[in-house]
Amino acid sequence: MRYELMDASSIASAVTRGEVSAVEAVSASLDRIGRLEPRLNALITVMEERALERAAYVDGQVASGCDPGPLAGVPVVVKDNMCTRGVRTTCGSRILGDWKPPYDAAVVELFEKAGAVIVGKSNMDEFAMGSSTEHSYFGPASNPRDISRVPGGSSGGSAASAAAGYVPIALGSDTGGSIRQPAAFCGVHGLKPTYGMVSRWGLVAFASSLDQIGPFGRSVGDIALAMDVISSHDPRDSTCSRRERPSFRDGASSPAVKGMRIGIVREFLEGPLDPSLKRSIEGTASVLVSSGCAIVEVSLEESASFGLPCYYIIAPAEASSNLARFDGVRYGFREEAPDLVSQFTRTRSSGFGEEVKRRILTGTFVLSSGYYDAYYLTALKVRKRICEEFDRAFRSVDVILMPVAPSLPFRKGDLLDDPISMYMSDVFTLPVNLAGLPGMTVFTGLEPSGLPTSVQLVAPRWQDRRLIECAAVIEERFGCPPVAEGGAL
């Protein structure tokens, strides 16, 4: 049985019925990782021993007649900025290269309670700062659709793990597009939930008002299944909402899209956009119309014009504050020095990579005396206007359909020396984080070159299920993302 071709619900059902053991499913995942990982570098840590122990525990639950959970025996990967007790959590950085947290992140607890088995921690741009997974202390990851290209970032390792068949579900974090953009580049689905839908307890912070955890998967059903598991209130995270969560699986299995008004953003189709991605938008709109939806043109002029500069003031400002804790004194990497100030300077200079240092410096500057009002305070005002602009748009539409990125996945090294062009790859995703909205990348097919195309769906706050419903209709037309194998690998 080829487990890499199976979705999570099929694996869980087979394990629960005793048709296959969790140990067999996890062993198959580890075998595939062993074969492909030298070329992909999608993982920083492979958790073989812990995974097999956990799989044996799940099999024991099945044998004793206990309910092993909705993800029974399903191998999963989590991004390496989510704490795993006793297993190193590096954030892709030298400064945390050997740090082993004393606790699990909330999403790790929820996955394991549901019967899932974590097989690895995925490669990522250092501290989630990047759009290509080339800014990792542990080396760049490759796109399994074409290993000469980037998998996107910062959650590129998680997206690549799902696309390559390591696992059916992987978790990433999204601060400005870090789930949706790599999902598009690797050809899988990826959901950034509403800010506050999923607990951030145990997620190493980048920008606390923007970060959100969400799933990657090769089927909308698996995305929905993962969301049913991880979207619950957590009192340990003060930003995690107490509101009741919907059943995402019901939305995937019985999508109700008839009568929905789908917004097309005029400004995002007028700018630079790869022709194949524009065709994906048009084709997806046709599919939704044939399912009973109406297409309405909307304007997001301020988001299109000011989203990028607004984000690159607010996010670095929050990062400069959050990353101040990494000083070589309390935990993590330390450079020895004759005095405390020299130790701070040496540790942070050699412990952080160039992109992280660039953003810390930017954030420190915009928060500094004399510049705070001109930059940071102004950005907060612009952010409010972006939120209001989305609110106005959602008075006339239920879901917005727009691109994920301006281009197909670019080649490794092409943008490393051009930070502005790298930042531009998230121009369509950043405003969604600034407004705290749910956004989802939905796979729409493979080009003749083998590179994937996708669209982005955005909904009002707390209407994440609408995205699942629309995605289920789109998937019915375009099919589930195939596992990347042969050709590039």
Write out the catalytic residue numbers: 79, 154, 178
Angstrom distance (rounded) from CA 260 to CA 320: 42
Whose tokens are 């959970």? That residue is 69
Angstrom distance (rounded) from CA 484 to CA 226: 21
Angstrom distance (rounded) from CA 181 to CA 342: 39
Angle made by CA atoms 240, 241, 245, in degrees to the nearest 5: 115
Neighbouring-strand partners of residue 303: none
Token digits of residue 241 = 């909402």
Angstrom distance (rounded) from CA 11 to CA 96: 34
Among 203, 201, 169, residue whose Cα is nearest residue 183:
169
Whose tokens are 């499913």? That residue is 25
Angstrom distance (rounded) from CA 169 to CA 176: 21
Among 439, 356, 446, 434, residue whose Cα is nearest residue 409:
446
Angle made by CA atoms 190, 414, 456, in degrees to the nearest 5: 20
H helices of 128-273, where? 156-163, 180-186, 220-230, 248-253, 266-270
CA-only gyration radius of the chain, Å: 21
User: Phi and psi of 306, rounded to 5°?
Assistant: -115, -5
Instruction: Categorise residue 292: left if φ over 0, alpha if ψ from -120 to 50, beta otherwise.
Output: left
Could you give the strand order of the β-sheet that contains 169-173, starting from the edge strand earlier in sequence? 43-46, 117-122, 75-79, 169-173, 213-217, 189-192, 439-446, 452-458, 399-402, 261-265, 294-298
Among 127, 166, 159, residue whose Cα is nearest residue 141:
159
Angstrom distance (rounded) from CA 251 to CA 116: 22
Whose tokens are 């999403």? That residue is 107
Among 203, 200, 196, residue whose Cα is nearest residue 127:
203
CA 244, distance to chain mean position in Å, is 23
- Residue 241 is given by DSSP the state -
